[in-house]
Amino acid sequence: MSIWGKIVGGAAGFAFGGPIGALAGALAGHAVDVVAESAMGATPAEPDQAGDTDRQATKRIAFTIAVIVLGAKLAKADGVVERAEVAAFKDVFRIPPDEMRNVGRLFDRARGESAGFEPYARQIAGMFHRRSKVLEELLDGLFHIAKADGVVNENELEYLRRVAELFGFDEDDFARIRTAHLGPDEADPYRVLGVTREMSDAAIKAAYRKLVRECHPDKLIAKGMPKEFIDLANDKLAAINGAHERVVKDRARRRA
């Protein structure tokens, strides 16, 4: 069974409770088993052993549900759910045609409920290290949804900023992530890499290599990002590589 099928087929609540497990359990029509260490506010360390399959499976399913829920609530942050925003969600994440209906049910349920987004953001944050690159990938997906209708309004930006804060990212982190989504012409490549123009070439290259290692899809998957989100991770890596190329060209031009 694919990860999408597990979400609504009974496996989604097998190892975590909190708002994410409750939503998945309600959708599947069964009671959810609560595990204390996965509940909201827990901060387990990211596993470093390949055999930690149960915990990894839990994190991947929770990550996927969090993307659906937070994406649904973002889509109505400006008071109107645009078709383009819903389509963007479906485009970014590899959802098989036979699972589209199930994912749509969860999306619609999350969008229609009165509960806010913060409990969901807090719970998923508790399953990863603060400022985890996996959480940054989730933010990237939310930015993609926000941009789908051509305008990221103030309500959407405030929503994204608050999610970033709950994930442990500071204002500089948020500025860097936001800049990466402004487009190749407007984005400051130095900010995308998290470096400054005053840093040496060697320091910038070291920061770039570290970012590439941390954001490589294989490493993110090992830390709990589902493989179904590989396109999003590849887009992020391409943006990092593109920013570095622009920095190299900019510094060469300044020295010429």
Of 151, 209, 141, the C-alpha closest to 177 is 141
**Is residue 253 domain-resident?**
no
More confident of the two residues 42 and 191: 191
CA 194 vs CA 4, 151, 176, 177, 199: distances in Å: 34, 25, 6, 9, 11
**Is residue 217 domain-resident?**
no
Give the pTM. 0.69
Q: What is the 3-state secondary structure (H, E, C) of 16-57?
A: CCHHHHHHHHHHHCCCCCCCHHHCCCCCCCCCCCCCCHHHHH
Confidence of residue 135 (pLDDT cuts 50, 70, 90): very high
* CATH classification of the domain holding 18: 1.10.3680
Q: What is the pLDDT of residues 148-178, one digit of tens each?
A: 777 788 888 899 999 999 999 998 899 888 8
Confidence of residue 127 (pLDDT cuts 50, 70, 90): confident
**Is residue 192 domain-resident?**
no
**Is residue 83 domain-resident?**
yes
Which domain does 48 fall in, by range? 3-181
**Is residue 109 domain-resident?**
yes
Residue 238 has pLDDT above 60, yes or no: yes
* Number of domains the chain contains: 1
**Is residue 77 domain-resident?**
yes
**Is residue 165 domain-resident?**
yes
**Is residue 199 domain-resident?**
no
